[in-house]
């Protein structure tokens, strides 16, 4: 009996060691920043998310002039190397992009509900504890030098983009941020300027909880 128990303990410890080794080898999952560090939180959530909901002002009947929310693949850089700027791969054939040609102003939202974090912690997507970020600004086509940054960021995280049909005339764009809105705790929305957002260090290590 005792022998069985100690065998099991040894097995358990061995498995634990393997698990810890694997976690360390993966560099560990970067932690969610403390909620009071709102600029870091915004950078963190934008970097974690591979897609966003983007609202434009519709140019299409029967909702002309009304908000129109649609899903887009985004990337602000390869994992662990986010620039803060959400890049997108767009075509003028796309319904929301047609809106942007008339009015480039848009709103982009991303949420930790898109990771395992909120479910694992029992946070409803609408709870402020399930951090979500809204960006205001406009969508701008990028120039050739920035397009190479956008391409590396997008194709690295969305490899099937490489095979999207060339006759759609895809181009690289960025979300040019004018205001950041952060819902990451009770007490209402907090705002972050683009300057604060871009000077924050999203992935600094600390004793927070990870996104798994």
Ligand X SMILES: *[C@@H]1O[C@H](CO)[C@@H](O)[C@H](O)[C@H]1NC(C)=O
Residues that bind ligand X (CB under 6 A): 78, 81, 138, 140, 143, 145-146, 176-178, 194
**Nearest to ligand X of 118, 192 (CB atom):** 192
- The minimum distance between CB 104 and ligand X, in angstroms, equals 7
- The minimum distance between CB 47 and ligand X, in angstroms, equals 12
Rounded Cα distance between 134 and 52, Å, is: 10
| Tokens found for residue 124 | 């409803």
Other beta carbons within 10 Å of 207? 6
- The minimum distance between CB 165 and ligand X, in angstroms, equals 27
**Nearest to ligand X of 23, 81 (CB atom):** 81
Cα 35 to Cα 62, 65, 92, 208, distances in angstroms: 41, 35, 38, 10
**Nearest to ligand X of 35, 43 (CB atom):** 43
DSSP designation for 146: H
**Nearest to ligand X of 59, 138 (CB atom):** 138
- The minimum distance between CB 145 and ligand X, in angstroms, equals 5
Q: Identify the CA nearest to 100 among candidates 146, 72, 140.
A: 140
């Amino acid at each position: 009996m005792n022998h069985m128990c100690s065998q099991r303990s040894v097995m358990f410890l061995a498995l634990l060691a393997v698990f810890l080794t694997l976690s360390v080898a993966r560099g560990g999952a970067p932690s969610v920043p403390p909620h009071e560090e709102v600029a870091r939180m915004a950078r963190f959530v934008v970097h974690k998310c591979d897609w966003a909901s983007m609202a434009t002002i519709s140019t299409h009947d029967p909702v002309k002039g009304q908000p129109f929310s649609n899903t887009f693949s985004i990337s602000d850089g390869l994992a662990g190397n986010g620039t803060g700027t959400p890049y997108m791969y767009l075509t003028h054939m796309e319904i929301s992009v047609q809106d942007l040609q008339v009015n480039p102003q848009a709103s982009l939202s991303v949420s930790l509900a898109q990771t395992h974090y909120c479910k694992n912690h029992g946070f409803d997507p609408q709870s402020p504890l399930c951090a979500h970020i809204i960006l205001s600004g406009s969508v701008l086509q990028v120039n050739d030098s920035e397009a190479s940054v956008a391409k590396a960021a997008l194709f690295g995280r969305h490899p099937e983009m490489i095979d999207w049909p060339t006759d759609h005339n895809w181009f690289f764009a960025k979300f040019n941020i004018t205001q950041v809105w952060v819902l990451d705790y009770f007490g209402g929305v907090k705002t972050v300027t683009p300057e604060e957002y871009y000077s924050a260090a999203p992935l600094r290590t600390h004793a927070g909880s990870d996104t798994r």
